[in-house]
Structure 1
Amino acid sequence: MSYVKFQRMRKRDCYLKQQWFMKALCQDTVISLQDGKVRIDHSKSYCSSKESESKNSFSVVELNSYVLVEHASGFQVTWDKQATAMIKLNAYWKHKVNGMCGNNNGDIKDEFMGRDGSKKSNANDMGNSWRQDSTCLETKAQVSPCDKNPYCKTWAMSRCQIIKDDTFKDCHPKVDPMYYYDACIREACVCDMEGKYLGLCSCVANYAHACMARGVCVNWRNPDLCPTYCDYYNKRGENIWHYEPCGLANVKTCSNQDLVDTFSPFLEGCYPRCPPDAPYLDSNVRKCVQLSHCSCNHNGQTIAPNSKIQDQCNREW
């Protein structure tokens, strides 16, 4: 498999709110990730294609704080609904993709290929060549956030130090912490509070995920640093939802079980311990239910059990 991980591109100036938005183009289909929701839009030509005959070509599953998108041809997108997404491609896609995430040919030396097929000298030139919207301004060489906001640097260094300290000591020999530490400093030096904490927490979480991929589980979150409050999902008197720092295997769900089985042992977050009389997790409503009570999800809309919808190709499901 080939992995490509990327983060949102920060706007040039600081705003009270920052939005993360991504579009992935797949033949006649656009996958949009925005505001914590996944939307899949097909072109008119898709509806007359052979692929449209399969209702299972795309699968979208919510798993705790992540969204998983899978296509039958062999690519998967994992998104944390905020700042980080990961694309996983199988061997079929080797030499068959291009864009901001590279060409999946196994050669890291030619990752900066522009839209015109020429190799760019830096990330800015490469990114600018792939602009989809002419109204989007070209990115210029940017000032380091810590130089722009020097008053944030001390705070950033103090908070990001966790990546280099004893909390992750078992992982240091397997995953170099400096790349993640430097990225954490840059992200934590932004000027607004929301972006500061989002950048910090995303970078530390990315390092923890890289450690988990190398077999090292690190329970790094605490009430003072990027806390996760799973008890929010428990009704009064319940004790179903619990935080799992390194995922949880054997989670029964209403959705694509194979996809969940692939990722749940590696994704941190809130997981339920469903009772025997309601053993399936309905991630659309975050409840444990019987299989017959499972809902569905279509382009961010929850569909009640035994209901029918009409898709973009005017077919009834």
Structure 2
Amino acid sequence: ERLCECGPDGQVTCQEGADCEPYEECRIENGVQACHPTGCGHCLANGGLHYVTLDGRVYDLHGSCSYVLASVCHPKPGDEEFSIVLEKNSAGDPQRVVVTVAGQVVGLARGPQVTVDGEVVTLPVATGHVSVTAEGRNIVLQTNKGMKVLFDGDAHILMSIPSSFRGRLCGLCGNFNGNWSDDFVLPSGAVAPNVEAFGTAWRAPGSSLGCGEGCGPQGCPVCLAEETQAYEKNDACGKIRDPHGPFAACHKVLSPLEYFRQCVYDMCAHKGDKAYLCRSLAAYTAACQAAGAAVKPWRTDSVCPLQCPAHSHYSICTRSCQGSCAALSGLTGCTTRCFEGCECDDHFLLSHGVCIPAQDCGCVHNGQYMPVNSSLMSSDCSERCFCSPNNGLTCHEAGCPSGHVCEIQAGVRECQAARGLCSISVGANLTTFDGAHNAISSPGVYELSSRCPGLQKNVPWYRVLADVQPCHNNDKIVSKVHIFFQDGLVTVIPSKGAWVNGLRVDLPATVLTSVSVRRMPDGSMLVHQKAGVTVWLGKDGLLDVMVGDDLAAMLCGACGNFDGDQTNDAYGSQGKTPIEKWRAQDFSPCSN
């Protein structure tokens, strides 16, 4: 009924009538009294084929594309916006789950291998709005606002969505409005005529060419009753629904019928292949344990055996996350559930997927666990930290040399030779991204590079202006650089410092959103935009503007369009020279 906030000056302000939104209630959770969701909805994607929506609609979709499972299509202020995408290979098998939360992209893949914004990380990890942990055989992602994704690294994906998102979602998991009959809604708002049309509508951007829905000319597998009888027995899929079997205690918590149906279908479609029986039993096990239900052992040396690495053993109910080096080091985020999987032997702890003596555990840096003898580069490559068995965590200054950009390749962040490099040398000689040469003949402020207006907005916007002035020996150099971002302006002057929105800042500093500014040991200045542009300005007036391949053919300015063709970097307009065309009009001292 009343919301009070403590301001930066210590003043407390209260707002009357701060009622909770629909499907929220006022209660204390994790020590915080606030409006919290009243519950959660659950969506299942299993085997790359079987789906149960948040409202309980059951369907099968044969498809080899990547699909949006759930996304916030109707956001409201204060939302933790997210999307969940299932990436599949050409055979239709799940390969990766990509979860985007508030702009942060987390990939969950087999291995397990987890990436955050393209960089491979060691589990557990807590960064931004998400934490990711290894729990038994599963990877579990949790967000600050309570959304959860469980992926077993094979084919079973279980999503838990807070009730505060009811009626505001879209994708293969449905709209979460409590009515299963309208779950097949298209982006247009119309209802899909069939499941294939529904799947086509929710293909994820970047789906492979030639992918599609349906089973092709041969048709989808059809199993007759006499064919399925053998798979329904208690020594096969019947084990799932057996009232006296290993899953009996789970039946009241999570109905076995859909998992049983999927198991029978998959075994029949694959001619009794026991791998699909094991996959189905493991999926129901994970779902039951995620719901807090007990499961009795069902694996044996001859039935779906699970091989465990050295110094570990199989357990039907292990808390592997709590029994890890990271947990010992103070990293939290583990779920309260136990899951089947491999458990370290006594006196051993889990570190990067292997069990090691407790005294050999590694380090923790910025919410991420580091095994011994591993290193970690900062997001702008300005610092590298190393975990040593003798000295623990040590960090030292790094930084990329001129002509190099801090990039992630094959999941590893390193200084890479810039493929998109535009430079200005002493004398104001300019080389474009595509290698064309030109010269700035007269002093002034010039538009070097920006994302062209009207183009797609999936890469950050920026605008780089160079102030070219004559030096003492009359050689023209870049005296300062103005860099505009979506939320502000950064100005850097070699050996003098940096200004953000007109205010001088102490360096190094993270400024604006995902922008860092740093003075290098030689006095040069480095401005780095995450997933965008990097600008290096030397104290002698040399300038490098560096961009990644994702900005190719999207750029405007004197540095060219970065399309691989240097011939179109030299065209001017209206009788002006190519460089004069790019004078910054908002910095021009005189009007034309």
Please report how far the alpha carbon of residue 115 of structure 1 lies from its aligned counterpart in structure 2 after TM superposition: 2.8
Q: 1:88 maps to which residue?
A: 160
Candidates 237, 240, 263, aligned match of 1:160: 237
1:217 match: 295
Q: Give the superposition deviation at 1:245.
A: 1.6
Please tell me the residue identity of whatever aligns with 2:314: Y
User: Amino acid of the residue matched to residue 60 of structure 1?
Assistant: V
Separation in structure 1 between the aligned mates of residue 129 and residue 360 of structure 2, nearest angstrom: 22
Whole-angstrom distance in 1 between the partners of 2:322 and 2:378? 29
Decide whether the 8 Å contact of 1:124 with 1:141 is kept in 2: no
Q: Do the aligned partners of 1:274 and 1:288 also contact (CA within 8 Å) in 2? A: no
Q: What amino acid is aligned across from residue 44 of structure 2 in structure 1?
A: K
Residues 296, 305 of structure 1: 8 Å contact kept = no
- In the aligned structure 2, how far is the partner of 1:287 from the partner of 1:296? 20
Indicate yes or no: 2:188 matched with 1:116: yes
Residues 197 and 303 of structure 1, relative CA distance in 2, 3 Å threshold: farther
Q: How does 1:30-49 map to 2 (within 5 A)?
A: 30-36=105-111, 37-41=113-117
- Identify the residue that residue 48 of structure 1 maps to in structure 2: none
What code does the residue aligned with 2:266 have? E
CA distance in 2 between partners of 1:139 and 1:223 (Å): 39
Choose the corresponding residue for 1:206, options 243, 266, 283.
Answer: 283
- Aligned pairs for 1:37-116 (under 5 A) are 37-41=113-117, 55-116=127-188
Partner of 1:254: 325
Structure 1 residues 180-223: Cα deviation after superposition (integer angstroms, max 9, x where no partner): 22110111124388xx4443222222333444436342222222
Aligned residues with identical type, % of pairs? 22
> Structure 2 vs 1, CA of residues 24 and 175 (structure 1 numbering), >3 Å: closer, same or farther?
closer
Conservation of the 8 A alpha-carbon contact between 2:315 and 2:341 = yes
Per the alignment, residue 209 of structure 2 pairs with 135
**Contact residue 221 and residue 227 of structure 1 kept, 8 A:** yes
TM-score for the superposition, normalised by structure 1: 0.71
Aligned pair partner of 2:376 in 283, 292, 309 = 309
Contact 1:297/1:303 (<8 A) preserved? no
Q: Hey, what's the Cα distance between the residues in 2 that align with 1:192 and 1:295?
A: 48
> d(CA) in 2 for partners of 1:154 and 1:295?
53
- CA–CA separation in structure 2 for the residues paired with 1:136 and 1:27: 31
For residues 2 and 312 of structure 1, do their structure 2 counterparts lie closer, same or farther at Cα, with a shift above 3 Å needed? farther
Q: Which runs of 5+ in 1 are unaligned?
A: 43-53, 235-240
| CA distances 1:234-285 after superposition (whole Å, capped 9, x unpaired) | 2xxxxxx23222344893333465432434x2x211122442xx6x432443
SS across alignment from 2:170:
coil
Match of 1:23 in 2: 98
Q: Distance in 2 between matches of 1:71 and 1:174?
A: 24
Please state if 1:191 is matched with 2:262. Answer: no
Q: Does the residue aligned with 2:333 lie in a helix, a strand or coil?
A: helix
Distance 1:287 1:191, change over 3 A: same
Report the Cα distance in structure 2 between the residues aligned to 1:313 and 1:122, rounded to whole angstroms: 48
- Compute the displacement of 1:79 (Å): 1.1
Structure 1 residue 244 corresponds to structure 2 residue 321: no
1:23-74 deviation per Cα after TM superposition (whole angstroms, max 9, x unaligned) = 33434333333333222327xxxxxxxxxxx944332322332112233343
Deviation per residue, 1:124-150 (Å, 9 max, x gap): 3222111122725331268453549x9
The AA in structure 1 aligned to 2:239 is: I
Higher strand proportion: 2
What code does the residue aligned with 1:156 have? Answer: Y
1:71–1:16 distance in 2 versus 1, CA, 3 Å: closer
Change (3 A) 1:175 1:41: closer
The alpha carbon displacement at 1:152 in A equals 7.2
Q: 1:136 to 1:96 in 2, by over 3 A?
A: farther
Structure 2 CA distance for aligned equivalents of residues 297 and 223 of structure 1: 42
Task: Decide whether aligned partners of structure 1 residues 205 and 104 sit closer, same or farther in structure 2, where only a CA change above 3 A counts.
Answer: same
Deviates more, 1:217-226 or 1:18-27: 18-27
Matches of 2:238 and 2:366, distance apart in 1: 40
Residue segments in structure 2 that go unaligned for 5+ positions in a row: 1-39, 50-61, 65-89, 119-125, 386-592
What is the CA–CA distance in structure 2 between the aligned matches of 1:285 and 1:296, rounded to whole Å?
20
Do residues 5 (structure 1) and 31 (structure 2) align? no
* Bigger relative contact order (CA 8 A; separation at least 6): 1
d(CA) in 2 for partners of 1:173 and 1:94?
Answer: 25
Larger displacement relative to structure 2 (74-83 or 101-110): 101-110
The AA in structure 2 aligned to 1:253 is: S
Pair 1:289 & 2:358 matched? yes
Query: Structure 1 residues 307 and 60, CA, compared in 2 at 3 Å: closer, same or farther?
Result: same
What SS does structure 2 have at the residue aligned with 1:222? coil
Q: Distance in 1 between matches of 2:278 and 2:360?
A: 35
Size of the aligned set, in residue pairs, is: 289
Once the two structures are TM-superposed, the CA of residue 153 in structure 1 deviates from its matched residue by 4.5
Q: Distance in 2 between matches of 1:259 and 1:104?
A: 27
Residue deviations 1:76-110 (CA, integer Å, cap 9, x gap): 22211101122223355444542222334444343
Structure 2 residue matching 1:87: 3-state secondary structure:
strand
* Whole-Å separation in 1 of the counterparts to 2:157 and 2:351: 23
Separation (CA, whole Å) in 1 of partners of 2:287 and 2:346: 29
Measure, in 2, the Cα distance between the counterparts of 1:116 and 1:313: 41
Letter in 2 for 1:2: G
Change (3 A) 1:25 1:169: closer
Q: Which amino acid aligns with 1:81?
A: G
Offset, 1:227? 1.7
> Aligned partners of 2:96, 2:320: CA distance in 1, in Å?
30
**Aligned ranges for residues 143-182 of structure 1 at < 5 Å?**
143-147=219-223, 153=228, 156-158=231-233, 159-165=236-242, 166-167=244-245, 168-172=247-251, 175-182=254-261
